[in-house]
Amino acid sequence: MAQTLTAPKVKVDRKWQLFIDGKFVDGASERTLVNPANGKPLTTVAEASKTQVEEAIRAARKAFDHGPWPRMTALERSQFLNKIADAIDAHAEELAELETLNGGKPLRETTYDIADAAYCFRYYAGLITKPSGQSIDVPAPSVTTVVREPIGVCGQIVPWNYPLLMAAWKLAPALAAGNTCVLKPSEFTPLTAIRLAELLHDLKLPEGVVNIVLGDGPTVGQPIAESTIVDKIAFTGSVNTGKRVATSALTNLKKVTLELGGKSPMVVFPDFDLDIAVDYALFAIYCNAGQVCSAGSRMIVEQSIYDQFVKKMAARAKKIRVGPGLEAETEMGPLVSESQLKRVLEYIEIGKKEGAKLVTGGDQPKGEKYGSGYYVNPTIFSDVKPDMRVVQEEIFGPVVVVQKFSTEEEAIELANNSVFGLAGAVFTNDITRAHRVVKQLRAGITWVNAYHNTYTECPWGGYKQSGWGRELGTFGLEAYTEVKQININLDPQAVGWFEA
- pLDDT tens track, the chain, 500 positions: 334 444 568 999 999 999 999 999 999 999 999 999 999 999 999 999 999 999 999 999 999 999 999 999 999 999 999 999 999 999 999 999 999 999 999 999 999 999 999 999 999 999 999 999 999 999 999 999 999 999 999 999 999 999 999 999 999 999 999 999 999 999 999 999 999 999 999 999 999 999 999 999 999 999 999 999 999 999 999 999 999 999 999 999 999 999 999 999 999 999 999 999 999 999 999 999 999 999 999 999 999 999 999 999 999 999 999 999 999 999 999 999 999 999 999 999 999 999 999 999 999 999 999 999 999 999 999 999 999 999 999 999 999 999 999 999 999 999 999 999 999 999 999 999 999 999 999 999 999 999 999 999 999 999 999 999 999 999 999 999 999 999 999 999 999 999 88
Using CA atoms, how far apart are residues 347 and 396, in angstroms rounded to an integer? 10
Residues 6 or more apart whose Cβ sits within 8 Å of residue 300: 265, 266, 267, 268, 403, 404, 405, 411, 414, 415
CA 88-92-94 angle, 5° bins: 115
Model pTM? Answer: 0.96
Nearest residue to 360 (alpha-carbon basis) of 322, 405, 411, 303: 322
Nearest residue to 450 (alpha-carbon basis) of 216, 310, 276: 276
CA 103-105-108 angle, 5° bins: 135
Q: 97, 259, 327, 394: which one is catalytic?
A: 259
CA distances from 376 to 51, 178, 186 (A): 39, 43, 22
Strand partners, 232: 154, 255
Hey, is 181 helix, strand or coil? strand
Hey, is 454 helix, strand or coil? coil
- Which helix (H) or strand (E) segment holds residue 31: the answer is strand 29-35
User: Phi, psi (5° rounding) for residue 89?
Assistant: -60, -40
Q: Which residue blocks in 250-337 are alpha helix, DSSP H? A: 274-286, 303-317
- Which helix (H) or strand (E) segment holds residue 405: the answer is strand 399-405
Using CA atoms, how far apart are residues 463 and 466, in angstroms rounded to an integer? 6
Q: What DSSP character marks residue 218?
A: I
Q: Which residue blocks in 318-440 are alpha helix, DSSP H? A: 338-354, 389-392, 408-416, 431-438
Distance of CA 349 to the CA centre of its chain: 28
Give the model's pLDDT for residue 5.
Answer: 45
97 is known as an active-site residue: no
**Exposed / middle / buried, residue 367 (Cβ in 10 Å: 0-12, 13-18, 19+):** exposed
**Exposed / middle / buried, residue 42 (Cβ in 10 Å: 0-12, 13-18, 19+):** middle
Using CA atoms, how far apart are residues 403 and 265, in angstroms rounded to an integer? 10
Is residue 293 within 8 A of residue 397, CB to CB? The reply is no
Strand partners, 489: 142
Strand partners, 153: 180
Nearest residue to 18 (alpha-carbon basis) of 220, 165, 161, 166: 220
Give the model's pLDDT for residue 482.
Answer: 97
259 is known as an active-site residue: yes
**Exposed / middle / buried, residue 481 (Cβ in 10 Å: 0-12, 13-18, 19+):** buried
Residues 6 or more apart whose Cβ sits within 8 Å of residue 478: 148
Using CA atoms, how far apart are residues 480 and 88, in angstroms rounded to an integer? 23
Q: One-letter amino acid identity for 325?
A: G
Q: 55, 154, 293, 471: which one is catalytic?
A: 293
Give the model's pLDDT for residue 4.
Answer: 46
Nearest residue to 231 (alpha-carbon basis) of 483, 484, 481, 485: 481
Find the helix packing angle between 74-90 and 191-202, rounded to 10°: 120
